[in-house]
Structure 1
Amino acid sequence: MSNIKEINRRRTFGIISHPDAGKTTLTEKLLLFGGAIQEAGAVKSNKIKKGATSDFMEIERQRGISVATSVLAFEYQNIKINILDTPGHKDFAEDTFRTLTAVDSVIVVIDVAKGVEEQTEKLVEVCRMRNIPIIVFINKLDREGKDAFDLLDEIEQKLHLKVTPLSFPIGMGYDFKGIYNLWEKNINLFTGDPRKDIEDTIEINDLSNPELDDLIGEKAAEKLREEIELVESVYPDFEKESYQGGELQPVFFGSALNNFGVRELLDCFVEIAPSPRPKESDTRLVKPTEKDFTGFVFKIHANMDPKHRDRLAFVKIVSGKFERNVPYLHVRHGKNLRFSSPNAFFAEKKEVVDVSYPGDIVGLHDTGNFKIGDTLTSGEELNYKGIPSFSPEHFRYINNADPMKSKQLEKGIDQLMDEGVAQLFKLELNGRKVIGTVGALQFEVIQYRLEHEYGAKCSYENLNVHKACWVEPSDPKNEEFADFKRVKNKFLAKDKRGQLVFLADSAFSLQMTQQKYPSIKFHFTSEF
């Protein structure tokens, strides 16, 4: 049964962090070790700073932040690794939350100087709710930062994780000497020479060995012995089962920019991270080892290649195997579709694949059939759960700034909203279009992409809305619902799927409306 062999060699994980913690740099270095790229984007070549490999949208290169989740795959030690690099910026959190439905484990990157930041707390909470196994990577050790034990305490308290260090720093910042690897019992010396791809590793099974004093100096050696003794007495021993069950989180230290401590992380990850896990659907739990194919769309990206105006739906394969040119059931539409050129990814490079297995992410060319959360199967009618749309927090009217390009604007808005970049509401009263986003930066991204990908210009007008709630009446025909629609007419809109939405102008008005119309439910996510 080659399927099981293929499933066991898959590792699909996401990298999450606060902006600027070095997530994209870490992704690059992992690819470097996997031999997937020959030089990192951070390498300055001919005095031109190349963009990071995983940030392929033009606006990302300009702003220096990741806006969309990118998918990268490579082989390392005969293990097929799929990385989903997510945006760290809170304005793009919705994309990150949806991506977390498609991963089997995550690596959380923390900046040694800043420690645990707000965005990290939110994302880790989502992982904890779903029992996703977490590895913590504390980055930027070549800079001055917080004490290692203080950081470990902070991770335990703020993120509510139970940690166990599998590597430990020797010094930090100016006196950073290297890392002691508790997992492999060796020392990695830091030379600080960025031209060296991989640093010197020296096997040291016994820390009392006098050779240690010669390597890092007596003072540093003594301090390391004390710290490792403390680590071994305070923190629990690493257990693979506890980690995979989401109960114990191993911690690694390093400097992604200097390619330091990354190989240790990758070697350990390949050994301990879970292969594809079962996923809950609306009817049953689906196991990856099942014969029949199932998968779900967790992301849609328009214009991966601006020359071709193509839309790609990213599908995470949950069970069975996905084969090219075989018809699969699109459950929501109830019709069969076949795909002649499913893609596997390496950032913006794509290649057509014949067969993909559970854990893999395939990109399917889409002419508008898919939306986020859609399920594809070999015929069984089931839907995967837990890919919500969140209630937006920022609202603006969108106006056409170039009447000659109204068709392009229409198409652009339509496609970008399918991506889940933002949500579109049409007011019942006058048909005006309102865009709602989770973060204010999204408006800039939409404006930029409309102009550069669709040749359409838009302008915005402020709109005073506190929150959008999806409306679910207990009985659409009753008097109360009719009264609600009459009284609140100017605050009502339809979303892209035609569902009724109440745009409350303040927290008080929302509260009063909920009290006045008890038979109506108001939802803050659209998945109900």
Structure 2
Amino acid sequence: MSSSPTLKTAASLPQEVARRRTFAIISHPDAGKTTLTEKLLMYGGAIRSAGTVKGKKSQQFATSDWMEVEKQRGISVASSVMQFEHDGCVINLLDTPGHQDFSEDTYRVLTAVDAALMVIDAAKGVEAQTIKLLEVCRLRRTPVITFINKMDREVRDPLELIDEIEETLGMPCAPITWPIGMGKQFAGVFDLGSERMLKFTPGESRPETDLEVLEGEDHPYLVEHFPIAHATFKEEVEIVREAAESFDHEAFLAGDLSPVFFGSAINNFGVRDILQALVSWAPPPRQREARQRTVRPDDGAFTGIVFKIQANMNPQHRDRIAFLRICSGEYRQGLKARHVRSGKTIRLDHAITFMAQERAHLASAFAGDIIGIPNHGRLRIGDVITEGEVLELEGIPHFSPEIFRMARLNDPLRAKQLNKALLELGEEGTIQVFEPLEKTGMILGAVGQLQFETVAHRLQTEYGVDAAFESVPVHKALWVSSEDIAAMKRFTQANANRLARDAAGTLAFMAPNRSILELTIEKWPEIDFNSTREVGAT
């Protein structure tokens, strides 16, 4: 990444864009995603030690789980962005929430990447959250690399795992490496292309670059020390070579095939292969569709879209950062840009890049990069920023919540602070906030209960507001719209007591039960009832 604030020549923009690799890591909780993230950062030279090593102040330490509630629970509930260089490429790595209650945040992150790395626990196989996330990838035809983790434990048969991935996720797999044994009998992984084996040595402090490489699938070391595992491996490899899909780069780029790697992230094993695959196979930034035209990454003019807003990344400053994916051109310090939704000109002076908790100011960034823009309420999720052109990029999805609550203050005098806090959290996408047209108070919508715990924690620690949450008689919230303005006006007047506006001001019908929802939809055929809302510049 260039540190020069000067404008690049036209010839360098395509070169810089071609160097970018922007991907997200997705998984079910506890599959080892955060551990793998740290090990990728280690191999990329971005950190010197993983999160389990904290003692020496001289060592550089970073972990993607930075929010206090994450540390308490040992899970990821916020998305982190990390950038580093490796083998001539600039890697933008987005670590997504692993907990299913925060799946909506992950969906939004997946709109900002060009590839995904799917982590699967070899003992558990394909789990519910993995299926949901891959469905989003398939919908967007995002290339997916699969890493089957925890082979150093007693796990399931690898052939069975491959079959389950293909059947459950509906995606053919092309094994690139294959494990020899598992648990205490885990000898290493065999590269099916080069016919070389990386010998496994337990111990997470051992760098993979120091591991021994054995030539051929019948190496004497395997036959002597792992005779049973070796015999099983020979049988499996024969089946794989006859029945499994061969790797096809074009099919991978089209989202129709996933290369599969085996390893143990906690032991630094198999991670180097993953990083090399991302550099060699993952696509550089791709073009984006706008209502007006196709936006190509090497277009000279700057274009970006806000896909996430996060507050309190630095608790000492109570800051709010808008995460922006650059879709075309180059960011330059001091860039004067158009905020398409408002039509106003804004000056981008203090963009930052991230390394988990650490941040650095940028003089320059290119299409494919993720930059942070300090935000004081001006920017929202889905906002488009350009160098002047009016463009409406494909929006960022919002999904209808499944659980609804109302906040109850333990101190009624803090009502003003509560409303301000909830509106800000709603703009971030931490939780969905609906303000009824005719009733007082705000209705909060979430995918899972943990989101309310996170909101309660942040209300207390960031805003000094002590609140609990009570059930509210809402069965479903559907966004409503109509091309018939008169019909929309009649609908709004007739149903005002069941209508609310979300954080973006969009109208939603708050159905108290299934029967009333069905009757209302039947009664008002001119009105569109939507379970998703695309957020963009309109």
Give the TM-score, by structure 2 length.
Answer: 0.93
- One-letter amino acid of the counterpart of residue 258, structure 1: N
1:468 matched residue in structure 2: 477
Separation in 1, partners of 2:493, 2:285: 50
2:91 to 81, 96, 107: 81
Aligned match for 1:301, one of 295, 304, 310: 310
Partner of 1:524: 531
1:491 and 2:501 matched: no
- Aligned twin of 1:378: 387
Q: Which residue of 2 aligns with 1:17?
A: 27
CA contact (8 A) 2:47 2:61 kept: no
Amino acid at match of 1:409: L
Task: Provide the C-alpha distance between the structure 2 equivalents of 1:337 and 1:105, rounded to a whole number of angstroms.
Answer: 31
Corresponding position of 1:168:
178
Structure 2 unpaired stretches of 5+? 1-10
Residue aligned with 2:519, SS:
helix
Partner Cα separation in structure 2 for residue 225 and residue 457 of structure 1: 62
Deviation at 1:208, TM superposition (A): 4.6
**Aligned match of 2:37:** 27
Q: Which residue is equivalent to 2:297?
A: 288
The aligned residue for residue 8 of structure 2 is none
The answer as to whether partners of 2:62 and 2:355 remain within 8 angstroms in 1 is: no
Aligned-pair distance for 1:184?
4.0
Partner AA of 1:286 in structure 2: V
Where does residue 239 of structure 2 map in the other structure? Answer: 230
Rounded to whole Å, the distance in 2 between the matches of 1:309 and 1:131 is: 37
Distance in 2 (CA, whole Å) between partners of 1:509 and 1:213 is: 69
Per-residue CA deviation, residues 90-123 of structure 1 (Å, 9 max, x unaligned), is 1101100000000000000000111000110011
Greater shift in the superposed pair: 387-396 or 342-351: 387-396
- Which residue is 2:120 aligned to? 110
Counterpart CA distance in 1 for 2:416 and 2:333 is 34
What is the SS of the residue equivalent to 1:128? helix
Distance 2:156 2:202 in 1: 20
Cα distance per residue 1:414-462 (max 9 Å; x no partner)? 2111101112112222232111112221111111001101112222221
**How high is the TM-score relative to the length of structure 1?**
0.95
Q: Does 1:273 align with 2:282?
A: yes
Query: Are the equivalent residues in 2 in contact too, given 1:190–1:199 (CA < 8 A)?
Result: no
1:345 is displaced (CA, Å) by: 0.7
Question: 1:381, 1:51 → 2: CA distance?
Answer: 42
Aligned to 1:249: 258
2:67 partner letter = M
Q: Percent identity among equivalent residues?
A: 47
Q: What CA distance in whole angstroms lies between the structure 2 residues aligned with 1:5 and 1:136?
A: 28
Aligned residues: 522
Structure 2 residue 361 is the aligned partner of structure 1 residue 329: no
1:340: how far off?
1.6
In structure 1, stretches of 5+ residues that fail to align are none
User: Does the aligned pair in 1 maintain the 2:196–2:216 contact within 8 Å?
Assistant: no
Tell me how far apart the structure 1 counterparts of residues 312 and 362 of structure 2 sit (CA, whole Å): 20
Distance across 1 between alignment mates of 2:401 and 2:328: 33
Which range moved further: 198-207 or 372-381? 198-207
> 1:132 corresponds to which residue?
142
Contact 1:34 1:76 in 2 (8 A): yes
Q: In 2, distance between residues paired with 1:290 and 1:168?
A: 42
Match of 1:414 in 2: 423
Structure 2 CA distance for aligned equivalents of residues 498 and 195 of structure 1: 51
Report the Cα offset of residue 394 of structure 1. Answer: 1.1
Aligned residue runs from structure 1 range 409-488, under 5 A:
409-478=418-487, 482=490, 484-485=491-492, 487-488=494-495
Q: Per-residue deviation at 1:240?
A: 1.5
Indicate how the Cα distance of structure 1 residues 487 and 261 shifts in structure 2: closer, same or farther if over 3 A, else same. same
Question: Cα gap change, 1:250/1:367 in structure 2, threshold over 3 Å: closer, same or farther?
Answer: same
User: Could you tell me how far 1:51 is from its partner in structure 2?
Assistant: 9.6
Is 1:54 aligned with 2:54?
Answer: no
CA contact (8 A) 1:191 1:199 kept: no
Deviation at 1:498, TM superposition (A): 3.0
Distance 1:212 1:451 in 2: 57
- Counterpart residue type for residue 193 of structure 1: G
Distance 1:459 1:103 in 2: 36
After superposition, residues 139-150 of structure 1 pair within 5 angstroms as 139-150=149-160
Q: 1:4 aligns with which of 8, 11, 14?
A: 14
